[in-house]
Amino acid sequence: MSDSDDDGPKAEETEEDAEMKKLLAGFVDETGADDDSDSSDSESGDEAREIEIEDNVLDHVVLAAADFESALEEFTEKTGVAPKIAGAIKGLGIKTARVSFEGSSFLEIIAPDPKSGGPIGNLLKASGISGLKPFHWAIRNERAEPLKDEVNKFGYTPDHISMFGAKEDGTPRKWEMLYLYGHKMGGITPFYINWANSDHPCETMPIVGDLIGVKVTAPSDDPVHKLIAHTESGGFSLEEGDASFELKFDSPEGEITYEATKMVGFRFPGFEDENGPIDGEEPTMPEFVMPAMPELLPVETGDYDDIPATEG
């Protein structure tokens, strides 16, 4: 993603789109502008590689952590590849970094931005989450916009966001996202993204290795099965069973696995204010590491009838 200034052709914009643009207005793009990191990965001028962008397949997986620098160190030590800093989404209070798999799918790391608070950053800060955990995943689909009118029959409430901006050469660019609410699976249910005429992030990211597979498991009665059957999306496996998510990929340090039974998933503020409460949802909590209970002081036992009454 990049700055959302409207330098290109205009399209009809909802109040929700306008609110989302405000949230993303402070996004620092892949050039690394406004970033104080000393990492050369944040510098511009990386040579783009040619990739084949297949539609209706896995686009990327999002991992979340409570601390950005620690997350990058953990990933680099674990895989032998340093993620490229992509920027900060100041409206959401997060910083992002990415690595590509061979091909056209990638991994995105998000964590709180210490310079800017926001709803998602604040959630991750307060979560007590330990290390990198799966947070959400995206399917690349050119039909993200018309799909918003089709998901209701599966019980989902669509949140479609169109973004406009400009490439470095001034060429107008657009991309869009479709988030699905009204379910109980959190980030195990995917969101959809259409990069439209935007450059795909994989073109300039370091490659960590081959994607071995993404396995998504959901109860047999969960609507995600009907959703995926409807869109006929690929690049991952979907099975019936207890909710879980598993990502496996190769790296210079060997095979890497990230897995979770609960994923928070993106949910953007302001949606319910404009559209009302969402039916069918129950709060989905991440795999928080809760602080231990303090030891309680011993309680003196005695006859409470002996305690004198307090005069009023």
Q: What is the pLDDT of residues 35-91, one digit of tens each?
A: 443 333 333 446 789 999 999 999 999 999 999 999 999 999 999 999 999 989 878
CA 255, CA 209: separation in Å to the nearest integer? 9
Of the listed ranges 27-36, 126-135, 207-216, 275-284, the least confidently predicted one is 27-36
Mean pLDDT of 255-275: 81
Choose from 6-20, 29-43, 87-101, 140-154 the range with maximum mean pLDDT.
140-154
Render pLDDT for 163-182 as a digit per residue (tens, 0 to 9): 877 777 878 888 999 999 99
Residue whose token pair is 């409807």: 230
The pLDDT, as a whole number, for residue 164 is 79
Residues 6+ apart with CB under 8 A from 306: none
**Under 8 Å between Cβ of 220 and 240:** yes
Cα 176 to its chain centre, rounded Å, is 14
CA 69, CA 164: separation in Å to the nearest integer? 30
Q: Is residue 11 scored above 50 in pLDDT? A: no
- Look at strands 157-166 and 207-209 and give their pairing: unpaired
pTM: 0.78
Q: Is residue 159 scored above 70 in pLDDT? A: yes
Q: Is residue 228 scored above 50 in pLDDT? A: yes
Q: Is residue 112 very low, low, confident or very high in pLDDT (cuts 50, 70, 90)?
A: very high
Render pLDDT for 294-303 as a digit per residue (tens, 0 to 9): 444 444 444 4
Considering only CA atoms, give the Rg of the chain: 22
Write phi, then psi, for 68 (nearest 5 degrees). Answer: -65, -50
228 or 276, higher pLDDT: 228
Q: Is residue 150 very low, low, confident or very high in pLDDT (cuts 50, 70, 90)?
A: very high
